[in-house]
Amino acid sequence: MNIFEAENLYFLGPEGTYAHSAMQKFVKNLDIKVKNIIPVYPITAVFKAIEKDKNAIAVLPIENSIEGIVRETIDNLVKLEDKAFKIVAETVIPINHCLMSKATDKADIKEVISHAQALGQCAGYLCKNFPNVRITPASSTSEAAKSLQDKDETHAAIAAEVAANLYGLNILDRNINDVLDNKTRFILLARGERPATGYDKTSIFFSVNNEPGALFNVLSIFNMYKINMLFIDSRPSRKKMGEYNFSIDLEGHQTDAKVEAALNLAAEYTGNLIITGSYPRFKD
């Protein structure tokens, strides 16, 4: 069975956001074949959808370079009752806000609409280029772009390029966020496993007791096997006082001899060690 074929593909909605771009990139690069592509909001609802749907794949955000890890995704992934669901791919989408409008000339713009966070991220650009326009917050960048359909040419929205395509708007300026190098990493979930490619990572989740040395013992295993850590996140477990949960990405595939041996040993020093996926690393 091809893990990239399914009846339904769910992605974090609404349409026209950066998750939509990530989904399109996965579909193209991995030659994904699905009958239906369905935006779902919020993250937890995407997981509810795939738990009920035996013939599904899903696209979700896992980490943003400014905002940090998306724990709602990891929490739900770890709790999935259907353990066949794994991370099978990752991709990175640059957060490049665009100014878009029915107008073709920036001089026509009297009002700019977007999500408050995107407006904040483009405050410098707006002050410099549109010192006198009205600024109006919307519930999402995509919703701002959509709302232009009922508005005249004096209105513009700040949103992802994919939203301009979706709602037939002209892009007046690209990459207008003041903080550049804002990126979001997305994962693809499917029932199945990816074979080793030689440039892979393995995502794991486990808990240890909160006592000096508990995490250190686990990390010393990876160190002894000369396995590099690519990512680590920690926080208190909400199940038990003094217990900590960790999400770690390791270099290498779970079928590599040293990764396999290290994970077997680590299982002795952790509670509830789960491999959430072993898959090719993103390459620019």
Residues of this chain that interact with a copy of itself (CB under 8 A) are 41-42, 44-45, 63-72, 75, 115-117, 120-121, 123, 137-140, 143, 179, 181, 210-213, 215-216, 219-220, 222-223, 226-235, 238
Q: Using the minimum distance from each CB to a copy of itself, give the nearer residue, 228 or 255.
A: 228
Q: Tell me how far, at minimum, the Cβ of 107 lies from a copy of itself, in Å.
A: 27
Q: Using the minimum distance from each CB to a copy of itself, give the nearer residue, 74 or 103.
A: 74
Q: Tell me how far, at minimum, the Cβ of 236 lies from a copy of itself, in Å.
A: 8
Q: Using the minimum distance from each CB to a copy of itself, give the nearer residue, 190 or 266.
A: 266
Q: Tell me how far, at minimum, the Cβ of 31 lies from a copy of itself, in Å.
A: 29
Do 160 and 20 touch, CB atoms closer than 8 A? yes
Q: Tell me how far, at minimum, the Cβ of 131 lies from a copy of itself, in Å.
A: 17
Q: Tell me how far, at minimum, the Cβ of 62 lies from a copy of itself, in Å.
A: 10
Q: Using the minimum distance from each CB to a copy of itself, give the nearer residue, 55 or 220.
A: 220
Q: Tell me how far, at minimum, the Cβ of 123 lies from a copy of itself, in Å.
A: 7
Q: Using the minimum distance from each CB to a copy of itself, give the nearer residue, 84 or 116.
A: 116
Q: What are phi and psi of 252, to 5 degrees?
A: 110, 165
What would the two tokens of residue 92 be? Answer: 């990175």
Q: Using the minimum distance from each CB to a copy of itself, give the nearer residue, 70 or 103.
A: 70
- Spatial distance between the Cα atoms of 228 and 237, rounded to a whole number of angstroms: 25
